[in-house]
């Protein structure tokens, strides 16, 4: 079993990046169709429907903002029968919410990518209900076309995993920006600081990804005893400063997911 025909409802930043990745991995653009109330043209020349198509798809990829779910659910439901799997990238929308809105689906998948799927580098968190083994394998393959597949066997940690791997690029981009801002504060020209910060993070993470050493060990290898790096690390480590900051950051993002899951009243 493979997902040959996928209808995308909510073709925005996230699902657009997924399609970029699938096409770069060799998919034909005809694999994907888009439903949008008013757009007539979208990236890659995908077919766009301005009304709900009277057709059947192997999967529907739902990519609207979570707050928009109920705007599309009633119209979309008739398309999601027992031959169609629902793939939802919506942060803070539980599998039960998906099941309630699309009760007849062949199965329900929370599929949490990040924007690096456009270059085949997204760690994709997955949680499913109702899939048979063959369909689950097809979802794994779909995820692996744009990165890695990381199945969760319980939904309990899905918001935390979303915070880490889905929101994570946002935190890393802020970190890169902050490194550059710090260097600018200390006197480096802004453009040069930004160039150096970005190139440094690109090289450091590529090296960490292929190194036999853990990131903690690599930090030690950079820090010559009594040298400059250790002085900087001491600032980050003082009282667990960086770990505490990132724990707070992940907690805030994770808890927003739980809040959003409670329903429209919490969706600010």
Ligand X SMILES: O=C(O)[C@@H]1CCC=N1
107: exposed, middle or buried (Cβ count in 10 Å: 0-12, 13-18, 19+): buried
Nearest to 111 by CA among 82, 86, 80: 86
Q: Which is nearer to ligand NDP, 36 or 220 (CB)?
A: 36
Q: Which of 114, 124, 135, 194 binds ligand NDP (CB under 6 A)?
A: 114
Distance set, CA 18 to CA 25, 40, 210, 264 (Å)? 10, 20, 24, 27
Which residues are CB-contacts of 104 (< 8 A; sequence separation ≥ 6)? 77, 80, 81, 82
194 counts as binding ligand NDP under rule CB under 6 A: no
| C-alpha gyration radius of the chain | 21
Residue 50 assigned to a binding site: yes
Q: Which is nearer to ligand NDP, 14 or 46 (CB)?
A: 14
By a kind-dependent CB cut-off of 5 to 8 A, residue 97 interacts, out of ligand NDP, ligand X, none, with: none
Q: For residue 145, give both structure tokens.
A: 């076309």
The encoded tokens of residue 5 equal 């025909």
Q: Which stretch binds ligand NDP (CB under 6 A): 106-114, 143-151, 180-188, 231-239?
A: 106-114
Per CB under 6 A, which of residues 49..108 are in contact with ligand X? 91
Q: Of the two residues 13 and 185, which places its CB atom closer to ligand X in the complex?
A: 13
Cβ closer to ligand NDP: 70 or 144?
Answer: 70
Which residues between 128 and 167 bind ligand X (CB under 6 A)? Answer: 162, 166-167
Helices and strands (H, E) in the chain, number of each type = 10, 8
Structure tokens at 123: 């760690």
Binding residues for ligand NDP, per CB under 6 A?
9-14, 35-37, 63-66, 68, 71-72, 89-91, 112-115, 166
Query: Which residues are part of a known binding site for NADPH?
Result: 50
Annotated binding residues, written as ranges, equal: 50
């Amino acid at each position: 079993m493979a997902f040959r025909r996928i209808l995308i409802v909510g073709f925005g930043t996230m699902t657009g990046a997924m399609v970029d990745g699938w096409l770069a991995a060799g998919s034909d653009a005809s694999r994907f169709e888009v439903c949008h109330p008013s757009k007539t043209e979208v990236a890659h020349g995908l077919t766009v429907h301005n009304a709900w198509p009277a057709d059947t798809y192997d999967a529907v990829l739902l990519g609207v903002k979570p707050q928009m779910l109920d705007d599309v659910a009633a119209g979309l439901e008739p398309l999601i029968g027992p031959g169609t799997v629902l793939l939802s990238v919506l942060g803070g929308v539980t599998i039960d919410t998906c099941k309630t809105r699309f009760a007849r689906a062949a199965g329900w998948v929370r599929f949490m990518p990040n924007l690096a799927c456009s270059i085949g580098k997204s760690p994709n968190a997955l949680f499913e209900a109702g899939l048979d083994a063959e369909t689950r394998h097809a979802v794994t393959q779909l995820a692996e076309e744009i990165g890695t597949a990381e199945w969760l066997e319980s939904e309990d940690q899905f918001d935390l995993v979303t915070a880490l791997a889905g929101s994570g690029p946002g935190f890393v981009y802020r970190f890169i920006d902050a490194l550059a801002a710090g260097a600018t504060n200390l006197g480096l020209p802004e453009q040069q600081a930004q160039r150096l910060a970005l190139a440094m993070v690109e090289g450091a993470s590529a090296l960490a990804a292929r190194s036999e050493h853990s990131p903690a060990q690599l930090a030690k290898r950079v820090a010559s005893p009594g040298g400059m790096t250790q002085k900087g690390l001491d600032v980050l480590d003082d009282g667990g400063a960086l770990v505490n900051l990132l724990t707070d950051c992940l907690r805030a993002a994770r808890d927003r997911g739980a809040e959003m899951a409670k329903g429209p009243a919490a969706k600010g």
